[in-house]
């Protein structure tokens, strides 16, 4: 079974994504997992204040790719997830913290 995980390219996001990838592979060794890096508005625009860019500055592009079936899941840092999100999406899992 193939799963495409979408994530930002930051070191933190990649570390979290590989952690989730390993968790999934430990549950099912037959998974073929691809990681797809997605540049978000917050990644592309380093000059504008985040407060001026609006909600979902680090999540919106990943949400769109998920809704368009370009990725199967997205790994976000919870600090980046807006308190209001697309009603067609859900937070389906949050891994246990290691520390």
Among residues 32, 43, 45, 80, the one annotated as catalytic is 80
Query: What six digits make up the tokens of 41?
Result: 């508005």
User: Which parts of 19-64 are beta strand (E)?
Assistant: 32-37
Residues 6+ apart with CB under 8 A from 94: 78
Q: Is 72 a catalytic residue?
A: no
As a whole number of angstroms, the distance between CA 4 and CA 33 comes to: 6
Catalytic annotation, residues: 80
């Amino acid at each position: 079974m193939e799963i495409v995980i979408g994530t930002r390219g930051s070191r933190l996001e990649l570390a979290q994504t590989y952690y989730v990838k390993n968790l999934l592979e430990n549950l099912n060794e037959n998974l073929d997992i691809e990681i797809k890096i997605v540049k978000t508005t917050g990644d592309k625009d380093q000059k504008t204040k985040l407060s001026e860019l609006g909600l979902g500055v680090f999540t919106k592009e990943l949400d769109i790719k998920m809704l368009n079936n370009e990725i199967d899941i997205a790994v976000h840092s919870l600090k980046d997830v807006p308190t209001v999100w697309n009603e067609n999406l859900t937070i389906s899992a949050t891994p246990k913290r290691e520390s």
